[in-house]
Amino acid sequence: MTTPQSSRALLRFVEDEMLRAPLLFDQLIEGTVDHARQLLPTLAPFQRQATVDLMQALQSLRQRMAEYFLHSLREQTSAEVARQAAPRSLPVSPTKPQLLALVEEQEVALDVQLSHTIEAIKNVAEYELRELRTFVSALVGDLEMTRDHNPFRAETYARALWAASQALPNARGQQVNFMQYASTPMAQLLRTAYAASTSRLESMGLEPAAYRTLILPTGSRTRQGRMGESSVSPDMRSIRDSMPADINAEPRGGHRVSRHSPLDSPRPAQRADRQAIELVSRLFGAMLDDTRVKNDVAMLISRLQGPAMRLALRDAGLFDHDRHPLWRFINRLVYASEMTPDFGDPERMQLLKLAKATIDQLASESEQSIRLYSWALDRFEAYLQKRLTRRLTGVASQLGALQKLEEKMMSGQAGPSTLHGAIDIPQLDTVPADLMDDHSPARSALTDAERWLEQLQVGDWVRMFLQGRWIHAQLLWAGARREILFYGDGASDATWVVRRSALLMMHSNRLLKDLKQRAIVASAATRVQEQVLAEAAS
């Protein structure tokens, strides 16, 4: 949460940038027309005529498009400023009931282009975006860089660009054409605009903290895993055995010197106990330094360190692998918390309340055992299953209608959806060919995508780019023929009905991926192993 003073500073920054937005859009239209004109000789006759029509529309509808662009930019940045100013302890506003609309290939094609626009901006203006982020963080007093406070992110401008396209004639092909032709000029203009914004903030005397990126070679909080990372943990027993013989040794002049004489060396059992405690301490330190573990979850995990040390003295199997119930509980807690990312979400608060009560119970037990942590893991899994059941119950009244819709689709009796039915190539003749290349993948790739689709189970989580943003979505229902699938948002009560062909298109365009459970413990073990090897070499 930002303070009132920092919130006012951020608001002044937004107002200053908004004053420059009309000129930016004028330059964008000129750049888009020039870019389209340069491409005319390379286009097929039909696309050439469509591009000429687009260029004429851009000139005649420039003012109306500018209004759409500025309205979207204003709406997004105002919402971002308000969100940053809101206390995290407040629950999010409940989502209004939504009318179900079928997400078909046509809408996914738009998301494909929107994602291309976002990536173009990030690639061209990567350095300028990083620099601006550091200065905006300094502006609001967040020198630890805990989040991106810049309201004018690449996604913000891409969505404003799409809003501007809505002023064009109601032809999806022309709107998508505009997005494609405008992406490169937009990225180039924003590179300059971001640099200018940074210079203005720097002239105010701001001194930001050094920017932390994922590619820095050192630093305790620069390591971040990726979705789907390997869960194979290093041999923790070997790491324990390679710990210093005397963990009470203190460095003197760059060398470790024991506090004890050789006659006082610990017996083998004592040595193993000390090494086990040292390894647990380092593992928890590495987990708490992992930037993927949010602060509220890190506080809960830290409460497990004491019980884990006592468990290490009793349970010889703790370091056999990261499948021990203690490590599985930690991995599961981090993963479940990521599915409800909003700190003010009542679901997240309830999840962490249950986790805290469970950890308090673990810590209060005098006898630490594998059975105790198996109970904790089972309790946590039961809660997650209960939460899924509760959500399924909430949408049960809609499932009958969805099954009937699927049956009509398979029989060819379904009428047009809210997006005018399934797409075919003639409908998007004005869409550039490279946008459609991945929509008809090779047979082997399509088979892989279909195999992935068939393996989906109710309750599985995916990360998908839908309606202009990345979301965590949980599968709530799949039709008997898997022609339509029903997803729920992890951060709200929003739901989507997605057609099979649309999911396959998202999959082939890398706009959809499985959400694998991150191997927090395995990553921590790897880092501890590197530390021990570095110490041995020094």
In this prediction, residues 473-499 reach a mean pLDDT of 89
For the chain, give the percent of residues with pLDDT over 70.
79
Mark 263-295 as b/e (b = at least 16 C-beta within 10 Å): eeebeeeebbebbbbbbbbbbbbbbbbbbbbbe
Q: Would you say residue 47 has pLDDT above 70?
A: yes
Q: Taking each helix axis as running N to C, give the angle between helix 370-394 and helix 396-411, from 0 to 180 degrees, rounded to the nearest 10.
A: 70
Percent of the residues in the chain that have a pLDDT greater than 90, as a whole number: 39
Residues in the chain: 538
What DSSP string describes 93-110?
A: PPPPP----EE-HHHHHH
- Lowest-pLDDT range, 16-25, 156-165, 206-215? 206-215
Q: What pLDDT, on the 0 to 100 scale, is given for residue 466? A: 86
Whether the pLDDT of residue 420 is over 90: the answer is no
Taking alpha carbons only, the member of 463, 498, 495, 461 closest to residue 95 is 495
Identify the weakest region by mean pLDDT among 120-134, 284-298, 503-517: 503-517
Q: In the structure, what pLDDT confidence band is assigned to residue 34 with cuts at 50, 70 and 90?
A: very high
Contact predicate 359/303, CB 8 Å:
yes
Amino acid at 338: E
User: 155-164, 198-207, 427-436: which has the minimum mean pLDDT?
Assistant: 427-436
Summarize the confidence of residues 186-205 as an average pLDDT: 93
Q: So what's the pLDDT on residue 160?
A: 95
* Rounded-to-10 torsion of CA 325, 331, 336, 340: 150
- Tell me: the pLDDT tens digits for 332-380? 999 999 888 777 778 889 999 999 999 999 999 989 999 999 999 999 9
What pLDDT, on a 0 to 100 scale, did the predictor assign at position 87? Answer: 57
Residue 144 confidence class, pLDDT cut points 50, 70, 90: low
User: What is the residue type of 96?
Assistant: K
Task: Report domain extents, the chain.
Answer: 4-92+108-203, 236-249+266-393+519-537, 397-514
First to last CA, the chain: 43
Among the residue ranges 139-153, 173-187, 374-388, the one predicted with the least confidence is 139-153
Lowest mean pLDDT among 12-26, 249-263, 307-321: 249-263
Query: Which pLDDT value is given to residue 190?
Result: 95
CB 35 within 8 A of CB 184: yes
- The pLDDT mean for the chain works out to 80
pLDDT of residue 271: 77
CB 160 within 8 A of CB 72: yes
Neighbour-count burial of 463, counting CB atoms closer than 10 A to its CB (0-12 exposed, 13-18 middle, 19+ buried):
middle
> Residue 311 has what pLDDT?
93
Q: Is pLDDT above 70 for 223?
A: no
Query: What's the pLDDT score for residue 284?
Result: 94
DSSP, residue by residue, 385-454: HHHHHHHHHHTHHHHHHHHHHHHHHHHT-----TTSS---GGGGTTS-HHHHGGGS--HHHHHHHHHHHH
With tokens 């309830």, the residue in question is 350
Q: Can you read off the two tokens belonging to residue 84?
A: 């940053």
Residue 475 DSSP SS3:
strand
71-75, 197-201, 251-255: least confident range? 251-255
Minimal CA–CA distance to 197: which of 16, 26, 7, 2? 16
The secondary structure element, H or E, covering residue 251 is strand 250-252
The average pLDDT across 125-139 equals 91
Given a cut of 70, is residue 433 above it in pLDDT? Answer: no
Residue 257's SS3 state is: strand
Tokens for 340, please give them: 């409800």
What is the average pLDDT across 101-110?
76
Q: What is the DSSP string of 24-53?
A: HHHHHHHHHHHHHHHHGGGS-HHHHHHHHH
Least confident of 156-160, 249-253, 414-418: 249-253
pLDDT band at 257 (very low <50, low <70, confident <90, very high): very low
pLDDT of residue 147: 77
Query: What is the mean pLDDT of the segment spanning 28-35?
Result: 95
CB 334 within 8 A of CB 297: yes
Q: Are 50 and 185 in contact (CB under 8 A)?
A: no
Show the beta-strand stretches assigned E in 461-536. Answer: 461-466, 469-478, 484-489, 495-499, 512-514
Tokens of 166: 């809505």
Amino acid 272: pLDDT: 78
Helices (H) and strands (E) in the chain, counts: 19, 8
- Structure confidence at residue 221 as a pLDDT band (50, 70, 90): very low
pLDDT value at residue 400: 84
Name, in order, each residue with C-beta under 8 angstroms of 416's C-beta and a sequence gap of 6 or more. Answer: none
Average pLDDT in the 478-507 region?
88
pTM of the predicted protein model? 0.68
Q: Is 330's pLDDT higher than 90?
A: yes
- Is the pLDDT assigned to residue 229 strictly greater than 80? no
Specify the higher pLDDT residue, 274 or 229. Answer: 274
* pLDDT at position 443 over 50: no
Per-residue tokens: 49: 């005529």
Give the largest CA-CA distance in the chain: 92
Name 24's Cβ contacts closer than 8 Å, sequence gap at least 6: 189, 193
- Mark out the alpha helices in 166-267 (DSSP H runs): 172-203, 236-241
Is residue 145 within 8 Å of 182, Cβ to Cβ? no
